[in-house]
Structure 1
């Protein structure tokens, strides 16, 4: 997910997206621990997407 796509969303949309991605990250970690995750790079991508969303939320609230 690119930051350009994220910065145009509202704060409420960003919070919903962050919640969804956090749930996906949790599921990916569980699958990875039992060996069912086919692509462990997915965990890194989810963490980075959550960080980008957190950055966008902070920038919008600071205005």
Structure 2
């Protein structure tokens, strides 16, 4: 998810996306522990997306 897409979302949508991406990250980690993922960089991408979303939420709450 790009930063420009993140800035267009409301706070409630951001919180929903965070939970969705956290679940996706947990599922990918579990799948990777059982059998190696075809593209293990997916883990990094999802983890960074969660961080971007969380940062945007914090930024908006502090304003």
TM over 0.5: yes
After TM superposition, the runs of 4+ consecutive aligned structure 1 residues lying more than 2 A away are none
* Structure 1 residue 46 corresponds to structure 2 residue 46: yes
* Structure 1 residue 10 corresponds to structure 2 residue 6: no
Shift of 1:36: 4.8
| CA-to-aligned-CA distance 1:27-57 (integer Å, 9 cap, x gap) | 0000100115211100000000000001110
SS in structure 2 opposite 1:60? helix
Gaps of 5+ in 1: none
Count of aligned positions: 63
> What's the TM-score once normalised by structure 2's chain length?
0.93
Gaps of 5+ in 2: none
